[in-house]
């Protein structure tokens, strides 16, 4: 299987090149040339397969011959060493918990898979690869944790000083080894600008191989399709049509779900739930795609004004709006509605949601109004303690801190402070 650039169908690369480049030289996103359905028997017998077997079969065609089958098996076994529980909340509604990984964010799976792939591709290479990434919170921790100790890979994470939560800061500044945290005097946008500039800087690229670790990278994007297959395996015996609702920011996660459908997974519909950053809901109403400056909300991992993976979703439906709208809807919700939902779900069921999960629940409820007999699954993308201040303010108490978070809180923060692009360049040039 090859990948091509969405800006130029003539530009083809292998999975390995797509992972190492991150984005095509023409700035296009990489996209699979074709997606072959898995055999019908795979879905008929999915209950008898382990999560690792499911992941291996689903990933095989994308990886092609760039990773030997035994190695791919080893990778999925190592990365999937935690659970993905499907918890029933109401009749016909369940929550798929994606926060049982090492940093309690759903990004753990993609970050780990990418780290293992890049580690494998760097074996025997004399030249190190540097993963350069800007984070507004959760990405940094998941990437730091996934890449910790991977040989041949240096990780440099930029984050805005004072603008990430205490837990998030600890997760990305206390690990050491091949992980360096650059604490930037500025905003997340400043961090992102600096990273973009570094990627285009020939002087830096002359002596450093740089790649990115956001959901644009196919090795971070595609493994997210596992979640949908794992949930299908658990919900299949209910015998109803399944609807997935995904709290969406850059739309990588939901786009991977649609890839699972392309692989042959029966799913009736996908709902992308957003906060007030409503570029996609607006597009679905008007067919006008109008990027905006991102607004700050309480579900801040979804504060995105120009979702990078939406173009991949359009391509999965051959840019046909009718096909798209038969399979995909998108709704936007305010912070006020999100908080009210966190409260009412806690009061009714004793279930603690983070603000992102609550947005997903709202999206699902809205779609199910028209399909009361569907079975709805919404994705809970982070543990509530990752967004402690909002959860505490909304529910009026501090939830228990799980052991993997407690452990990181005792670590010692170590960062390098930078303020300008020249500081970043100096760091990348001398280390």
Active site (catalytic) residues = 107
Among 75, 80, 132, 301, interactor with ligand PLP by CB under 6 A: 301
Give the nearest distance from C-beta 355 to ligand PLP in angstroms: 8
Rule CB under 6 A: is residue 302 a binding residue for ligand PLP? yes
Mask: binding to ligand PLP, 365-404, rule CB under 6 A, as x and -? Answer: ----------------xx----------------------
Residue number, 54 or 111, with CB nearest to ligand PLP: 111
Give the nearest distance from C-beta 359 to ligand PLP in angstroms: 8
Q: Are strands 179-184 and 153-160 parallel, antiparallel or unpaired?
A: parallel
Among 178, 253, 261, 341, interactor with ligand PLP by CB under 6 A: 253
Give the nearest distance from C-beta 412 to ligand PLP in angstroms: 25
Residue number, 96 or 418, with CB nearest to ligand PLP: 96
CB of 247 within 8 A of CB of 360?
yes
- Of 4, 64, 12, give the one whose Cα is nearest residue 31: 4
Rule CB under 6 A: is residue 252 a binding residue for ligand PLP? yes
Give the nearest distance from C-beta 249 to ligand PLP in angstroms: 4
Among 251, 328, 331, 375, interactor with ligand PLP by CB under 6 A: 251
Query: What is d(CA 87, CA 3) in angstroms, rounded to the nearest whole number?
Result: 36
Distances (CA, A) of 28 to 7, 23, 62, 324: 5, 6, 18, 21
Query: What is d(CA 84, CA 387) in angstroms, rounded to the nearest whole number?
Result: 20
CB of 395 within 8 A of CB of 342?
yes
Residue number, 243 or 280, with CB nearest to ligand PLP: 280
Token pair in block for residue 365 = 């409820």
CA 271 to chain CA centroid, nearest Å: 16
- Of 72, 197, 56, give the one whose Cα is nearest residue 132: 197
Residue number, 215 or 329, with CB nearest to ligand PLP: 215
Please work out, in degrees rounded to the nearest 5, the angle formed at the alpha carbon of residue 397 by the alpha carbons of 342 and 340.
20
Token pair in block for residue 323 = 């096909």
Give the nearest distance from C-beta 113 to ligand PLP in angstroms: 14
User: Residue ranges of the alpha helices (H) in 317-354?
Assistant: 321-327, 335-349
Q: Considering only 69-77, 128-136, 248-256, 334-342, which stretch makes contact with ligand PLP by CB under 6 A?
A: 248-256
Among 5, 130, 171, 250, interactor with ligand PLP by CB under 6 A: 250
Residue number, 59 or 67, with CB nearest to ligand PLP: 59
The β-bridge partners of 157 are 133, 181
Q: Considering only 45-53, 246-254, 321-329, 342-350, which stretch makes contact with ligand PLP by CB under 6 A?
A: 246-254
CB of 308 within 8 A of CB of 215?
yes
Q: Which of residues 198-217 bind ligand PLP (CB under 6 A)?
A: 215
Give the nearest distance from C-beta 195 to ligand PLP in angstroms: 17
Give the nearest distance from C-beta 32 to ligand PLP in angstroms: 18
Buried b (16+ CB within 10 A) or exposed e, 344-373: ebbeeeebbbbbbbbbbbbbbbebbeeeee
Token pair in block for residue 288 = 């006008």
Among 233, 339, 356, 365, interactor with ligand PLP by CB under 6 A: 356
DSSP state at residue 399: P
Q: Which of residues 134-153 bind ligand PLP (CB under 6 A)?
A: 138
Query: What is d(CA 97, CA 95) in angstroms, rounded to the nearest whole number?
Result: 6
Rule CB under 6 A: is residue 154 a binding residue for ligand PLP? no
CB of 167 within 8 A of CB of 386?
yes
Rule CB under 6 A: is residue 105 a binding residue for ligand PLP? yes
Residue number, 32 or 249, with CB nearest to ligand PLP: 249
Kindly list the strands in the beta sheet with 129-134, ordered across the sheet, starting from the edge strand earlier in the chain.
209-211, 129-134, 153-160, 179-184, 416-418
Residue number, 216 or 401, with CB nearest to ligand PLP: 216
Residue number, 21 or 136, with CB nearest to ligand PLP: 136
Rule CB under 6 A: is residue 249 a binding residue for ligand PLP? yes
Rule CB under 6 A: is residue 247 a binding residue for ligand PLP? yes
Give the nearest distance from C-beta 222 to ligand PLP in angstroms: 12
Interface residues with ligand PLP (CB under 6 A) are 105, 107, 138, 215, 247-253, 301-302, 356, 381-382
């Amino acid at each position: 299987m090859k990948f091509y650039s969405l800006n130029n169908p003539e530009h083809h690369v292998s999975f390995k090149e797509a992972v190492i480049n991150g984005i095509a030289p023409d700035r296009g996103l990489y996209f699979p040339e074709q997606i072959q359905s898995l055999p019908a028997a795979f879905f008929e017998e999915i209950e008898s397969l382990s999560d690792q077997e499911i992941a291996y079969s689903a990933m095989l065609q994308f990886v092609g011959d760039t990773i030997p089958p035994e190695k791919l098996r080893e990778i999925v076994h190592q990365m999937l060493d935690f659970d993905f529980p499907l918890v029933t909340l109401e009749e016909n509604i369940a929550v798929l918990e994606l926060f049982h990984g090492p940093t309690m964010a759903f990004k753990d799976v993609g970050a780990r898979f990418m780290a293992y792939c890049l580690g494998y591709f760097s074996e025997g290479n004399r030249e190190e690869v540097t993963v350069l990434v800007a984070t507004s919170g959760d990405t940094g921790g998941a990437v730091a944790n996934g890449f910790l100790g991977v040989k041949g890979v240096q990780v440099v994470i930029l984050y805005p000083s004072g603008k990430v939560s205490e837990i998030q800061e600890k997760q990305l500044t206390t690990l050491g080894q091949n992980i360096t945290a650059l604490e930037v005097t500025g905003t997340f946008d400043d961090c992102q600008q600096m990273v973009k500039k570094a990627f285009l800087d020939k002087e830096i690229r002359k002596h450093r191989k740089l790649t990115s670790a956001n959901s644009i990278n196919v090795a971070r994007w595609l493994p997210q399709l596992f979640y949908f297959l794992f949930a299908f395996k658990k919900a299949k015996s209910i015998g109803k049509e399944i609807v997935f609702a995904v709290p969406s920011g850059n739309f990588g996660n939901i786009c991977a779900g649609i890839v699972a459908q392309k692989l042959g997974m029966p799913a009736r519909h996908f709902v992308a739930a957003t906060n007030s950053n409503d570029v996609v809901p607006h597009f679905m109403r008007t067919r006008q795609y109008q990027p905006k400056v991102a607004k700050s909300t309480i579900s801040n991992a979804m504060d995105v004004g120009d979702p990078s993976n939406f173009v991949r979703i359009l391509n999965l439906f051959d840019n046909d709006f009718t096909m798209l709208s038969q399979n995909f809807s998108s709704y936007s919700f305010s912070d006020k509605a999100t908080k009210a939902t966190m409260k009412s779900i806690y009061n009714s069921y004793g279930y603690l949601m983070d603000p992102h999960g609550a947005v997903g629940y709202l999206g699902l409820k809205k779609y199910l109004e028209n399909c009361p007999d569907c079975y709805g699954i919404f994705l809970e993308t982070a543990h509530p303690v990752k967004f402690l201040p909002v959860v505490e303010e909304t529910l009026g108490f501090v939830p228990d801190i799980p052991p993997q978070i407690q452990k990181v809180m005792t670590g010692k923060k170590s960062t390098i402070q930078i303020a300008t692009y020249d500081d970043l360049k100096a760091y990348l040039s001398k280390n």
